[in-house]
Amino acid sequence: MKITDITLWVVPLTSHETYYMAGGKTCDTVDSVILRIDTDKGLAGWGEVCPIPHYLAAYAKGVIPAIAEMAPVLIGSDPIGPEAVMHRLDAHLIGHRYAKSAIDIALWDLTAKAANLPLYALLGGRQTKDMPLYHSITCVAPEDMARMAKEAYATGIRQFQVKLGADNNWEADIARLTLVREAVGSGALVYGDWNNSGTQLDCSRVARTVSHLDIMLEAPCPTMEECAAVKSASGLPMKMDELAHDTASLLQAHRMGIMDAVALKLSKFGGLSVTRRARDLCMHLGARMCIEDTWGSDITTSALLHLAAATAPRNLLNTCDLSGYVGPRIDENAPTRQNGRIAPPSGVGLGVSPNIEVLGQQAATFH
């Protein structure tokens, strides 16, 4: 089997609610790049990457030029065995993990289709029927956030990510955590997320004030040293996200005692191949994992759900239905949340069938 064509589309995804985060980050309408790899055997693999502006070292307008640079290596290659192909791409173009993520997902889709198997069968085998979801709550007025949490709780959600710091008001952040904790009651998981944009002083004041509550902290400050100081000041468990992006950073966070949990995002690591290795390392280190991606619709959501389904439940903290936060849906038949949980797609490969009409005009093709 040989790769013959690579086709790209750019699809604007609009959040159902504007998403406010610390550090002036917002997520309203962002471009998702959709990729299809075609072969001479008639099989096609789908990939997707959707960078959020000002969030990580990634931007949507950089995806197509990066793929154009890698296309000559891909065209004519055998797609079966994604890690071998990705090794050649890494040698050809250093970095640009986010662009490579879409390619890697499509290669795994193709490999699973060639094997006539669902993707999770190649990622370790299905270990659970469905997985718990978390619900992310945009950083707005504390009372509104409590209402959103209560509404999500009524649908079966039991894990809540509370965005903090968008207004640089540490006292309001205390109210956000306190009111959400009250709204969902005991037992549910509540964690406050600064997206690594808080100051050590403000985050420590918030953390110490809510330390009597059952709260987890997520990504409070720009450096691991500051995060460690915040954890030391409060004694609360901590989840890593943006600062944990490769083997070295995972090991460092573990050594510093600040990785009780960690977010493994496909495009942050560079696709399923690298994220799978990160998952296996985290299982060894004992960190609970949120398996997700930065943003996107049904293709990347399906990819992360396959990896989550192939992860031992005791190691999986939660996963995310990114496609449930945005529109349009690229595949209306793709999985949706049910009673706070979600299952991977059925069928071979990723199990998604993108609607070409929704994708619109092609942005680029390579032969």
* pLDDT tens profile 23-62: 888 878 999 999 999 999 999 999 999 998 777 778 889 9
Look at residue 104 and tell me whether its pLDDT is greater than 80.
yes
At 167 the pLDDT is 95
Residue tagged active-site, from 25, 113, 163, 231: 163
Question: Alpha-carbon torsion 97, 99, 100, 101, what sign?
Answer: positive
Check if 163 is active-site. Answer: yes
Give residue 94's identity as a one-letter amino acid code: I
What is the distance between the alpha carbons of residues 157 and 133, in angstroms, rounded to a whole number? 7
Instruction: Check for a shared fold between 3-116+356-366 and 121-342.
Output: no
Look at residue 85 and tell me whether its pLDDT is greater than 80.
yes
User: What distance lies between CA 351 and its chain's CA centroid?
Assistant: 19
pLDDT in tens, 152-199: 999 999 999 999 999 999 999 999 999 999 999 999 999 999 999 999
Q: Are 325 and 291 in contact, with CB atoms under 8 Å apart?
A: no
What is the distance between the alpha carbons of residues 5 and 327, in angstroms, rounded to a whole number? 28
Check if 2 is active-site. Answer: no
Which candidate, 124, 27, 116, places its Cα nearest to that of 80? 116
Query: In the chain, which ranges are E strands?
Result: 3-20, 26-39, 44-49, 131-132, 135-137, 159-163, 189-193, 216-218, 238-240, 261-265, 288-292, 316-319, 326-327, 341-342, 362-366
At 258 the pLDDT is 98
Class of domain 3-116+356-366: alpha beta
Local confidence band at 236 (pLDDT 50, 70, 90 cut-offs)? very high
Q: Are 279 and 264 in contact, with CB atoms under 8 Å apart?
A: yes
What is the distance between the alpha carbons of residues 144 and 148, in angstroms, rounded to a whole number? 6
User: What distance lies between CA 218 and its chain's CA centroid?
Assistant: 15
- Cβ within 8 Å of residue 195, ≥6 positions away: 21, 22, 23, 25, 55, 163, 165, 219, 241, 242
Residue tagged active-site, from 113, 231, 265, 268: 265
At 126 the pLDDT is 97
Look at residue 309 and tell me whether its pLDDT is greater than 90.
yes
- Cβ within 8 Å of residue 298, ≥6 positions away: 323, 329, 330, 331, 334, 352, 354
**H or E stretch at 339:** none
Assigned fold of 121-342: TIM Barrel (3.20.20)
Q: Are 158 and 340 in contact, with CB atoms under 8 Å apart?
A: yes
What is the distance between the alpha carbons of residues 336 and 307, in angstroms, rounded to a whole number? 16
What is the distance between the alpha carbons of residues 344 and 361, in angstroms, rounded to a whole number? 29
pTM for this entry: 0.96
- Peptide bond before residue 72 is cis, with ω within 30 degrees of 0: no
What is the distance between the alpha carbons of residues 45 and 320, in angstroms, rounded to a whole number? 22
Greatest Cα pair distance in the chain: 61
At 143 the pLDDT is 98
Annotated domain spans of the chain: 3-116+356-366, 121-342
At 58 the pLDDT is 80
Local confidence band at 151 (pLDDT 50, 70, 90 cut-offs)? very high
At 269 the pLDDT is 97
Tokens for 302?
């399906």
